[in-house]
Amino acid sequence: MLLRHTPSTTPERHALTINPAKTCQPVGAMYAALGIHNCMPHSHGSQGCCAYHRSALTRHYNDPIMSGTSSFSEGASVFGGQANLLEAFTNIFTLYSPDIVAVNTTCLSEVIGDDLTQIINKAYEEKKIPAGKIVIHANTPSFTGSHITGYANMAAAMVKYLAKKTADGGRQTDTINLIPSFIEPSDMAEIKHIAEEMEISYIMFPDTCGVVNSPLDGRFHLYPRGGCPKEKIEASGSSAATIAIGVLGAQPAAKLLDTKCKVPFETVEVPIGISATDRFIDTLRKIAGASVPSSIRIERGQLVDAISDMCQYTYGKKVSLVGDPDILVPLVEFLNDLGMKVQHVLTGTSTNKYKFEERIKNICGENVKILAGLGKDMYLFHQLLQADKPDLFFGNTYCKYIARDMDIPLLRIGFPIYDRLGHSYQPIAGYRGGMNLLIRILNTLMDRIDRDANEEEFELIM
Ligand code: SF4
């Protein structure tokens, strides 16, 4: 109801964010950490931060997300959290026996200036980390960046702490590293499906398949079956090449692996839609020297067929999007390929390292309004929609208030999604994911046509 008062004008606004279009860095770091098999994420800060990170992930995945916290109180806030973290290591390894603890910092521990490298070294010296066990860490100050930055920082920390150079002075295996950005486990599974169909040996990390969407089998698994084993991340330093799947979420880890272990990398956009999936498969094909099997060609052909059958429902439809840059760019490209008219694209994540605006304008021309950066919020997005109402818009669960206020159909894509099921299981990546996405778009638009049709135009066959 309050949203009714959002104006369609956008007067200049400073030092005020209303309904941020992002979440905090540790949420992304924790999600990445879950992509290591037998890993316990650990939030170095107050219990409240950890409760928020865990609940955001638990609600999005409808699965219990485990994590430790350094449980800062007034003492730690003033004198630093070293004693808390050292005690936490003892407790975690004694009680929960993970192979790895992945520590992320929080706003508070960053402001205090806790030196995590020094604390972890001290923990090893004092034998608080048992032999064979590992602690890694990522700095994730949430007064800058977003969940995407946090994810990227933790993926890079995996390389920093775990990846090893080849033992024999440079001989590489023919394995390809696949480092995905912050995408759903269903999309990671789809990317692995493509690599497997092409018979490519790969290492994917982080890999949250089978962790945040693990099956219910009547028993509680503190560490579900999925996730990339630490041995494989160690071996990634011997791989022939890396493909970073996403500029902001994946490229920093790939770059570091190149610097540290001389594994060359290529960056591709997340394979959403036909064009981005074509480019991903072509990159895989060239790097791995593999051919594209008929099974993949069939998947592509089916998607092209479905688009050509139904393009009259998507052509010319006005769409607006809010979300994360690595998803938005290929999604915009797919919608443009469907003949839709993209009019607004907004992200609350800083895109300095990505030619985001240029890339989107290259895809859909100069008329699209693009807003990117930490101050860009849902309120601003609503103002834009008020000024120019789209036929359909894309965003996370929080967009449902805008959808209700303006009576615009919403397609839930991104993070977080608290009020619908499917994102963990049904991909939007790859050709099969493109088919899912197309079906969702069409069903949403066609439901709206049926709802709004008068008696004479209400058709049985569409
Ligand atoms: S933004 Fe900072 S203070 Fe808030 S939950 Fe995230 S880490 Fe904690």
What's at 350, amino acid-wise?
Answer: S
Active site residue 107: yes
Which pairing describes strands 318-322 and 241-245: parallel, antiparallel, or unpaired? unpaired
- CATH architecture observed for domain 25-162: 3-Layer(aba) Sandwich (3.40)
Cβ partners under 8 Å of residue 110, min gap 6: 139, 140, 141, 143
Mutate to test the pocket of ligand 1, among 22, 114, 142 (most ligand atoms within 8 A of CB): 142
User: According to the model, what pLDDT value does residue 375 have?
Assistant: 85
Mutate to test the pocket of ligand 1, among 27, 77, 106 (most ligand atoms within 8 A of CB): 106
Q: Could you say which of 27, 39, 103, 107 is catalytic?
A: 107
Q: Which long-range contacts (CB under 8 A, 24 or more apart) does 47-50 make?
A: 47/71, 47/72, 49/24, 49/106, 49/107, 49/108
The confidence band for 7, taking pLDDT boundaries of 50, 70 and 90, is confident
CATH domain 2-16+309-455 topology:
Rossmann fold (3.40.50)
Q: Which residue has the higher pLDDT, 433 or 165?
A: 433
The residue nearest atom 2 of ligand 1, judged by CA position, is 107
pLDDT of 10-41, one tens digit each?
888 888 999 999 999 999 999 999 999 999 99
- pLDDT surpassing 60 at residue 105: yes
Rounded to the nearest angstrom, the distance between the alpha carbon of 390 and the centre of ligand 1 is 33
User: According to the model, what pLDDT value does residue 167 have?
Assistant: 60
The residue nearest atom 7 of ligand 1, judged by CA position, is 106
CB atoms within 10 A of CB 142: 26
- Segment 69-93 mean pLDDT: 95
Ligand 1 pocket check for 29: Cβ under 6 Å: no
**Residue limits of CATH 3.40.50.1980 in the chain:** 2-16+309-455, 25-162, 176-295
Active site residue 211: no
The burial class, CB within 10 Å (0-12 / 13-18 / 19+), for 438 is buried
Please give the span between the terminal C-alpha atoms of the chain, in angstroms, as a whole number: 35
- pLDDT surpassing 60 at residue 165: yes
The residue nearest atom 5 of ligand 1, judged by CA position, is 49
Question: Lowest mean pLDDT: which of 122-126, 268-272, 342-346, 453-457?
Answer: 453-457
Whole-number mean pLDDT of the chain? 95
What's at 47, amino acid-wise?
Answer: Q
26: left (phi over 0), alpha (psi -120 to 50) or beta: alpha
How many residues are recorded in the chain? 462
Cα–Cα distance for residue pair 272/432, rounded to 1 Å: 10
Ligand 1 pocket check for 24: Cβ under 6 Å: yes
Closest CA to 161 of 179, 128, 136: 136
The confidence band for 171, taking pLDDT boundaries of 50, 70 and 90, is low
Tokens of 318: 């006005």
- What CATH class does 176-295 carry? alpha beta
- pLDDT surpassing 60 at residue 1: no
Tokens of 207: 């890999």
Cα separations in angstroms, 449 against 213, 214, 386: 34, 37, 21
Residue 63 DSSP one-character state: S
- pLDDT surpassing 70 at residue 164: yes
Ligand 1 pocket check for 107: Cβ under 6 Å: yes
